[in-house]
């Protein structure tokens, strides 16, 4: 009996060792599996389009699009519901072809922008944080933008966030980690691409190295750093790097659309000028990223998310105008890289109702303008003992539209008045905000409530979101699929449900890239 049990034990151990050996010897092939288990190679019989626009809403999936369309339509108005409406579609959601793409990367169902942008740009899965390299970080991949440049297309890259951030970088660089900002910037200068526009550079001097502006000029780029220079760009301007002169408070990105002042340049302006620079008989490829959508959803800021999605749609409109002039030669693709924030349209306190009109009363981004221009100066003049929520009542009303109970406007907007529970939450958050960050002793619940954000601003954000009927599940990315919309030459290939690497494969088939 003992011998029989020992034989079974030995057999089990042997089986385990064999399985472990297989796993270990094939672990390096896991990535290969992801890239070999694809659908049949797309086939395109027509002539390749001369003009290709690829729009990527960073952090944008179905919730971000749906919330924006509901906000624009002010769902809940009786006349809209009677007509069967209630939403106002964004221009790209009206495209004749739509599909959906999975977003997981080589090791996680919740990816980052480096791995997802690599999938779209080059057609391969990789690790989070890695740009155009395999999981061993030894093999480099060629993004479609480089392939098209060798075929004679002019190439433009536009983003509302730093131009050496992960998504734009995936179309001109190859690095083992997305945080190698100076290296990425040097590869931008070496790319020879014709137009870069929008945000500025992270780490423009690296570790005391030559400023990237000097490097760019040495490589033959013309720098357009003020509004007049940017608006005067055309197809005789040569190779151009156009940096927005009116940056957000972080100094490297376009302002959130809700914060943008009249007369300041928007994402759409950089797309329009990019078309002017790139337009030529041989054709061009332009990748445009709406990067602040992602930042807004990281901060759970529904107002900023909605307005930046509108700004993204306005940028797409510039491509649609171009398409209307060249319908037989143009392809426009609109997608996201992943979803951010776990946005959900629905809140336990509002049941089956939404109140998107309440978002109209907000005038600024929460984490950007309110935190930096209101809360930070207040913290410099007050202590935790002297701070009072009532001191900030007017600023809170202007930024978020919510009212303390004794506000003169309370009787006109009763739905915006803070209740006792909300006041209690805000007072607790203010106390935490007034405590130096290195001295904050968060409970587990408080860590979930505040994430890495300023306690008062994030609490106000959540309160306004909930009043409108919106909730967020995380401060990070999620594993949701993303929609894909297409208009123009080859649009029919983008129907169905597929992997994000297939976006590259479909573009490659249409553009005859091997």
The CA-based angle 186-191-194, given to 5 degrees, is 120
Place of tokens 């001109």: 172
46 within 8 A of 490, measured Cβ to Cβ: yes
Q: Is 191 considered catalytic here? A: no
Question: What is the chain's percent helix, strand, coil content, to nearest 5?
Answer: 45, 15, 40
Assign 16 a pLDDT band (cuts: 50, 70, 90).
very low
The residue annotated as part of the active site, out of 61, 113, 170, 191, is 113
Q: Cα(173)–Cα(183) distance, rounded to whole angstroms?
A: 9
Average pLDDT, integer, range 57-83: 81
- A 10 A CB-CB count for 218 gives 10
pLDDT at 80: 52
58 among the known binding-site residues? yes
pLDDT exceeds cutoff 60 at 3: no
298 among the known binding-site residues? yes
Average pLDDT, integer, range 101-117: 98
pLDDT at 268: 98
pLDDT at 367: 85
pLDDT exceeds cutoff 50 at 14: no
Mean pLDDT of the chain: 92
Which spans in 37-128 are helix H? 62-73, 78-82, 113-122
For residue 439, CA distances in Å to 4, 436, 442, 447 come to: 63, 5, 9, 14
Q: Which helix (H) or strand (E) holds 312?
A: helix 302-325
pLDDT tens by residue, 397-427: 999 999 999 999 999 999 999 999 999 999 9
Enumerate the β-bridge partners of residue 332.
53, 487
Average pLDDT, integer, range 161-184: 98
177 among the known binding-site residues? no
pLDDT at 438: 87
pLDDT tens by residue, 224-266: 999 999 999 999 999 999 999 999 989 999 999 999 999 999 9
368 among the known binding-site residues? no
150 among the known binding-site residues? no
For 507, residues 6+ apart whose C-beta sits below 8 A from its C-beta are 52, 54, 144, 333, 513
Average pLDDT, integer, range 358-384: 94
223 within 8 A of 216, measured Cβ to Cβ: yes
For residue 114, CA distances in Å to 33, 119, 497 come to: 20, 9, 22
Measured in degrees and rounded to the nearest 5, phi and psi for residue 286 equal -130, 125
Indicate the fold that domain 51-343+475-511 takes in CATH: Alkaline Phosphatase, subunit A (3.40.720)
pLDDT at 85: 55
pLDDT tens by residue, 266-296: 999 999 999 999 999 999 999 999 999 999 9
Measured in degrees and rounded to the nearest 5, phi and psi for residue 501 equal -65, -25
pLDDT exceeds cutoff 50 at 36: no
326 among the known binding-site residues? no
Assign 83 a pLDDT band (cuts: 50, 70, 90).
low
167 among the known binding-site residues? yes
pLDDT exceeds cutoff 60 at 469: yes
> Quick one: which of 102, 159, 510 has its CA closest to 330?
510
Q: Is the torsion defined by CA of 38, 130, 28, 340 positive or negative?
A: negative
Q: DSSP states of 325-344 as a string?
A: H-TTTEEEEEEES-EETT-E
Average pLDDT, integer, range 495-499: 98
What pTM, to 2 d.p., does this model score?
0.92
pLDDT tens by residue, 427-446: 999 999 999 988 898 999 99
Assign 40 a pLDDT band (cuts: 50, 70, 90).
confident
| Domain extents in the chain | 51-343+475-511, 345-471
């Amino acid at each position: 009996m003992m011998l029989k049990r020992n034989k079974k034990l030995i057999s089990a151990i042997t089986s385990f060792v064999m399985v472990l050996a297989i796993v270990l010897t094939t672990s390096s092939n896991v990535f290969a599996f992801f890239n070999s288990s694809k659908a049949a190679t797309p086939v395109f019989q027509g002539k390749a389009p001369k003009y290709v626009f690829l729009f990527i809403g960073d952090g944008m999936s179905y919730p971000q699009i749906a919330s924006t369309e509901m906000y624009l339509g002010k769902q809940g108005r009786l006349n809209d519901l009677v007509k069967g409406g209630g939403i106002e579609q964004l221009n790209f959601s009206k495209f004749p072809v739509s599909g959906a793409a999975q977003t997981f990367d080589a090791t996680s169902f919740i990816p980052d922008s480096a791995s997802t942008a690599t999938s779209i740009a080059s057609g391969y899965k990789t690790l989070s944080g890695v740009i155009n390299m395999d999981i061993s970080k030894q093999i480099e991949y060629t993004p479609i933008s480089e392939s098209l440049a060798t075929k004679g297309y002019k190439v433009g890259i536009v983003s509302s966030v730093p131009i050496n951030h992960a998504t734009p970088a995936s179309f001109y660089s190859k690095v083992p980690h997305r945080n190698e900002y100076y290296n990425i910037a040097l590869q931008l200068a070496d790319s020879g691409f014709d137009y870069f526009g929008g945000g500025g550079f992270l780490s423009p001097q690296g570790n005391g190295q030559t400023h990237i502006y000097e490097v760019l000029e040495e490589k033959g780029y013309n720098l357009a750093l003020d509004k007049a220079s940017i608006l005067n760009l055309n197809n005789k301007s040569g190779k151009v790097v156009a940096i927005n002169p009116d940056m957000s408070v972080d100094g490297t990105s376009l302002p959130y659309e809700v914060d943008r002042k009249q007369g300041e340049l928007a994402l759409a302006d950089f797309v329009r000028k990019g078309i002017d620079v790139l337009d030529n008989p041989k054709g061009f490829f332009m990748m445009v990223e709406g990067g602040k959508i992602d930042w807004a959803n990281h901060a759970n800021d529904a107002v900023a998310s909605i307005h930046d999605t509108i700004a993204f749609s306005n940028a797409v409109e510039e491509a649609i105008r171009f398409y209307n002039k060249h319908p037989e030669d143009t392809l426009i693709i609109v997608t996201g890289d992943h979803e951010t924030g776990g946005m959900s349209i629905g809140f336990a306190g509002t049941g089956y109702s939404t109140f998107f009109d309440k978002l109209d009363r907000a005038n600024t981004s929460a984490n950007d303008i309110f935190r930096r221009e209101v809360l930070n100066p207040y913290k410099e003049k007050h202590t935790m003992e002297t701070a009072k929520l009532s001191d900030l009542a007017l600023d809170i009303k202007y930024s978020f539209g919510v009212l303390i109970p004794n506000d003169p406007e309370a009787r006109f907007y009763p739905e915006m008045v803070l209740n006792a529970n909300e006041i209690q939450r805000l007072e607790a958050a203010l106390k935490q905000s007034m405590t130096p960050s290195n001295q904050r002793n968060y409970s587990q619940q408080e860590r979930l409530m505040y994430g890495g954000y300023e306690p008062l601003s994030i609490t106000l954000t959540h309160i306004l979101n909930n009043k409108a009927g919106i909730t967020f599940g995380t401060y990070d990315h999620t594993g949701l699929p993303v929609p894909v919309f297409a208009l123009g030459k080859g649009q029919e290939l983008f129907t169905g449900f597929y992997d994000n690497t297939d976006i590259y494969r479909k573009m490659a088939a249409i553009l005859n890239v091997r």
